[in-house]
Amino acid sequence: MRSVEDLGTFAVTDGMIFDKKGNLYLGDYQNYQMLKIRPGLEKEIFLVDERLIWPDSYSISDDGYLYVSCSQINKQPDYNKGENKRTSPYTIYRLKLPA
């Protein structure tokens, strides 16, 4: 029988992706950062940047880049008393992963 295992609390996130080495990358949208969780569950702040406004979609290319899109969900009118605070163009960021 299979079961769910609690591995701990790392961040409030809206998406995540594993690389070929088993590292888990996830956005911490509350703190404008990307985290890396190693297979042994060690957490590392991979990147902090104020442009990471609600990172939520990820892809890793064959040549070792992590692509991150930011949805700006927290800037939608529903969260800002009816005011749309989103800015365009929406951006996809590219980060080189460590070899």
In contact, 23 and 37? CB cutoff 8 Å: yes
Residue 38, domain CATH: 2.40.10
- pTM for the whole structure: 0.86
pLDDT of 99 higher than 80? no
Answer whether 27's CB lies under 8 Å from 68's CB.
Answer: yes
> Is residue 20 in a domain?
yes
| Res. 73 pLDDT band, cuts 50 70 90 | confident
* pLDDT at residue 37 in the model: 96
Mean pLDDT across the chain: 92
The DSSP bridge partners found for residue 58 are: 68
Answer whether 58's CB lies under 8 Å from 25's CB.
yes
Domain count, the chain: 1
The answer to whether position 54 is within a domain reads yes
